[in-house]
Protein backbone atom coordinates (compact mmCIF):
# COMPACT_ATOMS: atom_id res chain seq x y z
CA UNK A 1 0.00 0.00 0.00
CA UNK A 2 1.00 3.56 -0.65
CA UNK A 3 1.57 6.36 1.83
CA UNK A 4 -0.88 8.86 0.39
CA UNK A 5 -1.25 12.25 2.04
CA UNK A 6 -4.53 11.09 3.41
CA UNK A 7 -3.07 7.99 5.02
CA UNK A 8 -0.17 9.96 6.43
CA UNK A 9 -2.59 12.41 8.00
CA UNK A 10 -4.53 9.57 9.57
CA UNK A 11 -1.30 8.09 10.84
CA UNK A 12 -0.29 11.38 12.45
CA UNK A 13 -3.68 11.78 14.06
CA UNK A 14 -3.93 8.27 15.48
CA UNK A 15 -0.34 8.32 16.67
CA UNK A 16 -0.89 11.58 18.49
CA UNK A 17 -4.02 10.11 20.05
CA UNK A 18 -1.85 7.47 21.62
CA UNK A 19 -2.90 4.41 19.66
CA UNK A 20 -0.30 1.68 19.38
CA UNK A 21 1.45 0.99 16.10
CA UNK A 22 -0.44 -2.27 15.61
CA UNK A 23 -3.79 -0.59 16.25
CA UNK A 24 -2.97 2.10 13.74
CA UNK A 25 -1.86 -0.51 11.23
CA UNK A 26 -5.22 -2.23 11.70
CA UNK A 27 -7.15 0.96 11.00
CA UNK A 28 -5.10 1.94 7.99
CA UNK A 29 -5.13 -1.54 6.57
CA UNK A 30 -2.63 -3.03 4.17
CA UNK A 31 0.36 -2.24 6.36
CA UNK A 32 2.13 -3.92 9.24
CA UNK A 33 2.86 -2.35 12.57
CA UNK A 34 6.49 -2.27 11.51
CA UNK A 35 5.58 -0.18 8.52
CA UNK A 36 3.76 2.22 10.81
CA UNK A 37 6.68 2.49 13.19
CA UNK A 38 9.09 2.95 10.33
CA UNK A 39 6.95 5.72 8.90
CA UNK A 40 6.67 7.39 12.27
CA UNK A 41 10.44 7.56 12.44
CA UNK A 42 10.84 8.91 8.93
CA UNK A 43 8.29 11.58 9.69
CA UNK A 44 10.25 12.39 12.82
CA UNK A 45 7.11 12.18 14.89
CA UNK A 46 7.64 12.25 18.64
CA UNK A 47 8.25 8.80 20.05
CA UNK A 48 6.29 7.39 22.92
CA UNK A 49 6.91 8.98 26.29
CA UNK A 50 9.02 6.88 28.62
CA UNK A 51 10.33 3.86 26.68
CA UNK A 52 9.00 0.39 27.26
CA UNK A 53 5.68 1.61 25.90
CA UNK A 54 2.90 0.12 28.01
CA UNK A 55 0.13 2.57 28.79
CA UNK A 56 -3.12 1.24 30.28
CA UNK A 57 -4.05 -1.18 27.51
CA UNK A 58 -7.41 -2.83 27.09
CA UNK A 59 -5.86 -6.05 28.26
CA UNK A 60 -4.64 -4.84 31.61
CA UNK A 61 -7.99 -3.18 32.22
CA UNK A 62 -9.81 -6.40 31.47
CA UNK A 63 -7.68 -8.33 33.91
CA UNK A 64 -8.89 -6.09 36.68
CA UNK A 65 -12.62 -6.32 35.90
CA UNK A 66 -12.93 -9.92 34.78
CA UNK A 67 -13.02 -12.20 37.77
CA UNK A 68 -11.76 -15.72 37.36
CA UNK A 69 -14.44 -18.42 37.35
CA UNK A 70 -14.56 -20.12 40.70
CA UNK A 71 -16.20 -23.50 41.03
CA UNK A 72 -18.22 -23.93 44.23
CA UNK A 73 -17.08 -26.71 46.53
CA UNK A 74 -19.95 -29.17 46.34
CA UNK A 75 -18.04 -31.99 47.97
CA UNK A 76 -17.76 -30.26 51.34
CA UNK A 77 -21.43 -29.25 51.24
CA UNK A 78 -22.54 -32.87 50.75
CA UNK A 79 -20.18 -34.17 53.40
CA UNK A 80 -21.51 -31.71 55.99
CA UNK A 81 -25.06 -32.77 55.42
CA UNK A 82 -24.22 -36.46 55.73
CA UNK A 83 -22.35 -36.07 58.99
CA UNK A 84 -25.15 -34.08 60.61
CA UNK A 85 -27.52 -37.02 60.26
CA UNK A 86 -25.32 -39.69 61.80
CA UNK A 87 -27.99 -41.64 63.71
CA UNK A 88 -29.50 -44.66 61.98
CA UNK A 89 -26.72 -46.61 60.26
CA UNK A 90 -28.83 -48.29 57.59
CA UNK A 91 -30.85 -45.29 56.54
CA UNK A 92 -27.84 -43.00 56.41
CA UNK A 93 -26.00 -45.18 53.92
CA UNK A 94 -28.79 -44.88 51.38
CA UNK A 95 -28.87 -41.12 51.63
CA UNK A 96 -25.16 -40.87 50.98
CA UNK A 97 -25.49 -42.78 47.73
CA UNK A 98 -28.31 -40.57 46.50
CA UNK A 99 -26.44 -37.38 47.22
CA UNK A 100 -23.35 -38.56 45.43
CA UNK A 101 -25.48 -39.26 42.41
CA UNK A 102 -26.91 -35.74 42.36
CA UNK A 103 -23.45 -34.27 42.68
CA UNK A 104 -22.22 -35.99 39.54
CA UNK A 105 -25.18 -34.62 37.63
CA UNK A 106 -25.12 -30.91 38.31
CA UNK A 107 -21.46 -30.07 38.73
CA UNK A 108 -20.64 -29.94 35.02
CA UNK A 109 -23.65 -27.72 34.29
CA UNK A 110 -22.82 -25.26 37.08
CA UNK A 111 -19.32 -24.87 35.70
CA UNK A 112 -20.58 -22.58 32.91
CA UNK A 113 -19.83 -18.91 33.55
CA UNK A 114 -21.33 -16.00 31.65
CA UNK A 115 -18.39 -13.79 30.66
CA UNK A 116 -18.26 -10.04 31.21
CA UNK A 117 -18.04 -8.32 27.86
CA UNK A 118 -14.96 -6.20 27.32
CA UNK A 119 -17.01 -4.03 24.96
CA UNK A 120 -14.39 -3.92 22.23
CA UNK A 121 -14.81 -2.06 18.96
CA UNK A 122 -14.32 -3.81 15.67
CA UNK A 123 -10.80 -2.44 15.27
CA UNK A 124 -9.93 -3.60 18.75
CA UNK A 125 -10.40 -7.28 17.96
CA UNK A 126 -7.36 -9.52 17.54
CA UNK A 127 -6.66 -13.13 16.67
CA UNK A 128 -7.56 -14.25 20.15
CA UNK A 129 -10.46 -12.08 21.23
CA UNK A 130 -14.07 -13.27 21.17
CA UNK A 131 -15.83 -11.83 18.13
CA UNK A 132 -19.36 -12.39 19.41
CA UNK A 133 -21.40 -9.29 18.51
CA UNK A 134 -23.39 -7.60 21.28
CA UNK A 135 -26.24 -5.18 20.72
CA UNK A 136 -27.67 -3.47 17.64
CA UNK A 137 -25.04 -2.88 14.92
CA UNK A 138 -26.95 0.26 13.91
CA UNK A 139 -26.67 1.78 17.38
CA UNK A 140 -23.47 3.32 18.66
CA UNK A 141 -23.27 1.13 21.74
CA UNK A 142 -22.71 -1.87 19.54
CA UNK A 143 -19.60 -3.81 20.46
CA UNK A 144 -18.03 -7.23 20.61
CA UNK A 145 -17.58 -9.56 23.57
CA UNK A 146 -13.80 -9.37 23.31
CA UNK A 147 -13.11 -11.91 26.03
CA UNK A 148 -10.17 -14.20 25.61
CA UNK A 149 -10.82 -17.00 23.12
CA UNK A 150 -8.84 -20.20 23.50
CA UNK A 151 -6.37 -21.14 20.78
CA UNK A 152 -7.31 -18.42 18.29
CA UNK A 153 -10.92 -19.57 18.24
CA UNK A 154 -13.31 -16.90 16.95
CA UNK A 155 -15.27 -17.02 20.21
CA UNK A 156 -14.63 -17.35 23.91
CA UNK A 157 -15.59 -20.69 25.45
CA UNK A 158 -19.01 -19.40 26.47
CA UNK A 159 -20.06 -17.93 23.14
CA UNK A 160 -18.56 -20.89 21.28
CA UNK A 161 -21.17 -23.06 23.00
CA UNK A 162 -23.97 -20.73 21.94
CA UNK A 163 -22.60 -20.50 18.43
CA UNK A 164 -22.18 -24.18 17.81
CA UNK A 165 -25.07 -25.61 19.82
CA UNK A 166 -28.66 -25.95 18.55
CA UNK A 167 -31.13 -23.79 20.47
CA UNK A 168 -33.23 -26.70 21.71
CA UNK A 169 -30.14 -28.18 23.35
CA UNK A 170 -29.07 -25.10 25.31
CA UNK A 171 -31.01 -26.19 28.39
CA UNK A 172 -27.94 -28.25 29.28
CA UNK A 173 -25.81 -25.14 29.67
CA UNK A 174 -28.21 -23.67 32.22
CA UNK A 175 -27.48 -24.09 35.89
CA UNK A 176 -29.93 -26.50 37.45
CA UNK A 177 -30.17 -26.76 41.24
Partner DNA sequence: CCCTGATTCGC
Partner DNA sequence: GCGAATCAGG
Q: Is 123 in the site for DNA (CB under 7 A)?
A: no
Residue 133's CB: how many other CB atoms inside 10 A? 13
* Whole-number Å distance between alpha carbons of 67 and 139: 28
The distance of closest approach from Cβ of residue 60 to DNA in the complex, given in angstroms and rounded to an integer, is 9
Number of residues that this document lists for the chain: 177
The distance of closest approach from Cβ of residue 23 to DNA in the complex, given in angstroms and rounded to an integer, is 6
The distance of closest approach from Cβ of residue 162 to DNA in the complex, given in angstroms and rounded to an integer, is 24
Q: What are phi and psi of 148, to 5 degrees?
A: -70, 130
Q: Is 37 in the site for DNA (CB under 7 A)?
A: yes
Q: Is 38 in the site for DNA (CB under 7 A)?
A: yes
Selection from 150, 156, 112, 114 nearest residue 131 by Cα: 156
CA end-to-end span of the chain, whole Å? Answer: 58
Q: Is 160 in the site for DNA (CB under 7 A)?
A: no
Nearer CB in complex with DNA: 20/117: 20
Q: Residues interacting with DNA, by CB under 7 A?
A: 1, 3, 20-23, 31-35, 37-42, 47-48, 51-54, 57, 126-128
Amino acid sequence: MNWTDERVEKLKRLWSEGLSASQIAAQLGGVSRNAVIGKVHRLSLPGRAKAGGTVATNRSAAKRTTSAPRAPNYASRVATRTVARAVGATVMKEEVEIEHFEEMEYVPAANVVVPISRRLALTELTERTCKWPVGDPLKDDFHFCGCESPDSSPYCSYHARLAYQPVHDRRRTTVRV
